[in-house]
Structure 1
Amino acid sequence: MSKKILAYFTFSLLFISQLLSQQIDSDNVIYEDSLQLTNHAYLIYENFWDNEFVKNKALYSSDLSDTVLYLNKCEYISPIKGRFLSPYGPRGRRNHAGIDIKLNKGDSVKCAFNGKVRVAKSIGGYGNVVVVRHYNGLETVYAHLSKIIVKPNDLINAGEIVGLGGRTGRATTEHLHFEIRYLTKSLNPALVINTENYELTSDSLYISDNKFYSKYESIKNDKKVKQITIVDDDILAEKYHVITKGDTLYTISKRNNVSISDLCELNNISKNKILKIGTKLRVQ
């Protein structure tokens, strides 16, 4: 038996034991303790939890372990069903880290899977954004909301409303910017969700040799699989500006075509930060 097939069955057994060990009440709501000890999310994130950032540099790894992430088709609910506007992938000098789905202002945006709200706030180009961490280790991102309904650390079930549709942040029209991330790295949501009928493409997501696969059989025939090499849109493509006399956040933002809010988020600083000559400021 090959190592990858053995790994597949090993994770299958772990997943079954996880389900058996979870505490579920009469309404099928998973208690908070299952987020801490009995699921894959705890194994990969351990105690790392923050309510501030969509993606955190401390979690970045250029080499992911081969694993299987299980997707519960019975649990999944499409966040919104609307016209597909924009795919994942390169957009000018940046990487569009998710997909865009058309909606109207005030439309209900739903959580895709059971999980726990990690971020619920306004962040730069995302506008009003919600990040939910799920039991399999994936995180989903819901951006440009006109109103956020949930709070950080809320337990949430698939289908519950995270917020209302809008165009806050860097958006030219009302739409949902939807991302799926694993250990901060973005992956193509089309590997998980069919953008025509908004149903799951598979009941599992496979990671092998730092690539995502929607079908296990495809790993053995790498040339035919619809895949994406894991390249983080912001962490691997970093760009810095060396501060010189007269520089301000405003002049640096204009020179590098980035908002002041994004500069503050990228560097974990406030808008009142005193800039020291000779130091580096991340601008991408």
Structure 2
Amino acid sequence: MFLNIRKLVLLGILVCASFVKVFTQELDHNEEKVLLDYKTIVLDGSITNLPIYKVNYQVILEKADPQEELVKQDFSTVYEENWSNTVFNTYWKKSVTYPIPLHFEDDVFASPVDHKMVVTSRYGWRRGRPHQGIDIDLKTGDNVKALLGGKVRYTRRHGGHGKTVVIRHDNGLETVYAHLSKYLVKENDIVEKGQIIGKGGVSGNARGSHLHLEVRYRGKSIHPEYLFEFTQETKVRSNDIVVTKKWMTPRSHRSTRKSKIVVQTNIEEAKAINNNPTKSIYVVKKGDTLHGIARKHAIGVSEICKINAIQYNSVLNVGQEIVIY
């Protein structure tokens, strides 16, 4: 009797081994799990064969969504470089090389306010200081929306900006929304174009309720109206646009008037313009001073002296030509 039981057990093991060999030969290699063998164990007097599998990681990787992996790669590059939730300008120790080529996937942007956009103060020289964004009229409590999709890098108070939200976008640009009364997003949130990110207000150094909007690249402000048309059509001026130094220099513009926009899309032409900016000639009139000319053209006296190779205390003559870039 004992011998018969042993024979039956051995016969069972041989049958199982044969089954495993045939099964593995005919295995569909597209399966995520590969059967390797069976382990024979005895439970409560009964013989049980447990299957042993190997995970086929190659099949799992092949079945993975390549688009999902691409998105992860995009996020790991653009949204990690100089990333900080506590520093407003993470590039403050770095410089930029002009001109700067930018690419936009979007043809239009989302209006940052629900109502008609009214620009009350523009990018440029204002009251002896650089105004590095534009002011858009709103009332305290009005919705403030993201111009483009991106990732929230900063949500906290920042000097005269008051309550501020900074969003980084997939082309490296950052948009800044200041003077808010309330945050509706938190740091490291992924936001969509047109998503409400906060409520308008008068926090910080604000003369009446308005949205102060800035566009920055590697810490340097860009004239927002050079990139976006703040009209009802809300157009991005070009999918591919080249930014020269002029459009990142507040002294080259005045906050009280709209700059003449000529969009550059060719990198070589932009380089030529950047290296040889168009000259503007001012003819000295009776009573003019260097300080008066500098204020009129939103430029520093030192810059006028450097461009024209004159001294700070030079005497101006009526009819003299002064070069103003």
**Is the shorter-chain TM-score for this pair beyond 0.5, marking a shared fold?**
yes
TM-score in terms of structure 2 length: 0.53
The answer to which of 88-97 and 125-134 deviates more is 88-97
Number of the residue aligned with 2:75: 35
Number of the residue aligned with 1:171: 206
- The CA distance in 2 between the partners of 1:138 and 1:171, in whole Å, is 25
Q: CA, structure 1 residues 77+219, in 2 after alignment: closer, same or farther (shift >3 Å)?
A: farther
Q: Unpaired runs of 5+ in structure 2?
A: 1-64, 248-261, 279-299, 301-325
Aligned to 1:23, the other structure's residue is in SS state helix
Number of the residue aligned with 2:265: 216
- The CA distance in 1 between the partners of 2:112 and 2:200, in whole Å, is 11
C-alpha offsets along residues 85-111 of structure 1, whole Å, 9 cap, x if unaligned?
000001123110000000011111001
Flag as ranges the 4+ runs of structure 1 deviating above 4 A. 30-33, 208-213
- The CA distance in 2 between the partners of 1:192 and 1:150, in whole Å, is 25
Aligned to 1:90, the other structure's residue is in SS state strand
Number of the residue aligned with 1:153: 188
Structure 1 segment 6-155 matched on structure 2, within 5 A: 22-23=67-68, 33-37=73-77, 41=78, 47-58=81-92, 60-64=94-98, 66-73=100-107, 76-80=109-113, 81-155=116-190
Q: CA, structure 1 residues 79+165, in 2 after alignment: closer, same or farther (shift >3 Å)?
A: same
Instruction: Read off the aligned partner of 1:79 and give its amino acid letter.
Output: P
Number of the residue aligned with 2:242: 207
Q: CA, structure 1 residues 67+195, in 2 after alignment: closer, same or farther (shift >3 Å)?
A: closer
The answer to which of 81-90 and 124-133 deviates more is 81-90
- The CA distance in 1 between the partners of 2:72 and 2:112, in whole Å, is 23
Q: CA, structure 1 residues 89+176, in 2 after alignment: closer, same or farther (shift >3 Å)?
A: same
Deviation at 1:160, TM superposition (A): 0.7
User: How many residues are treated as equivalent by the alignment?
Assistant: 195
Instruction: Read off the aligned partner of 2:74 and give its amino acid letter.
Output: S
Q: CA, structure 1 residues 31+57, in 2 after alignment: closer, same or farther (shift >3 Å)?
A: closer
C-alpha offsets along residues 38-81 of structure 1, whole Å, 9 cap, x if unaligned?
xxx36xxx53200123223445314246433224125x211124
Deviation at 1:220, TM superposition (A): 3.2
Instruction: Read off the aligned partner of 1:133 and give its amino acid letter.
Output: R
Instruction: Read off the aligned partner of 1:78 and give its amino acid letter.
Output: S
C-alpha offsets along residues 173-228 of structure 1, whole Å, 9 cap, x if unaligned?
110000000000001000122233361242335336646573415963877xxx99
Aligned to 1:220, the other structure's residue is in SS state helix
The answer to whether residue 224 in structure 2 is matched with residue 189 in structure 1 is: yes
Instruction: Read off the aligned partner of 2:165 and give its amino acid letter.
Output: V
Aligned CA RMSD, in angstroms, stands at 3.2
C-alpha offsets along residues 146-172 of structure 1, whole Å, 9 cap, x if unaligned?
101110000111111110011100001
Aligned to 1:191, the other structure's residue is in SS state helix
- The CA distance in 2 between the partners of 1:173 and 1:154, in whole Å, is 29
- The CA distance in 2 between the partners of 1:100 and 1:209, in whole Å, is 23
Aligned to 1:100, the other structure's residue is in SS state strand
- The CA distance in 2 between the partners of 1:163 and 1:147, in whole Å, is 5
Q: CA, structure 1 residues 201+48, in 2 after alignment: closer, same or farther (shift >3 Å)?
A: closer
Aligned to 1:141, the other structure's residue is in SS state strand
| Native 8 Å contact 2:229 2:237 kept in 1 | no
Q: CA, structure 1 residues 186+22, in 2 after alignment: closer, same or farther (shift >3 Å)?
A: farther
Aligned to 1:216, the other structure's residue is in SS state coil
Q: Unpaired runs of 5+ in structure 1?
A: 1-19, 25-29, 229-236, 238-284
TM-score in terms of structure 1 length: 0.60
Q: CA, structure 1 residues 163+217, in 2 after alignment: closer, same or farther (shift >3 Å)?
A: same
Number of the residue aligned with 2:283: none
| Native 8 Å contact 2:181 2:200 kept in 1 | yes
| Native 8 Å contact 1:127 1:169 kept in 2 | yes
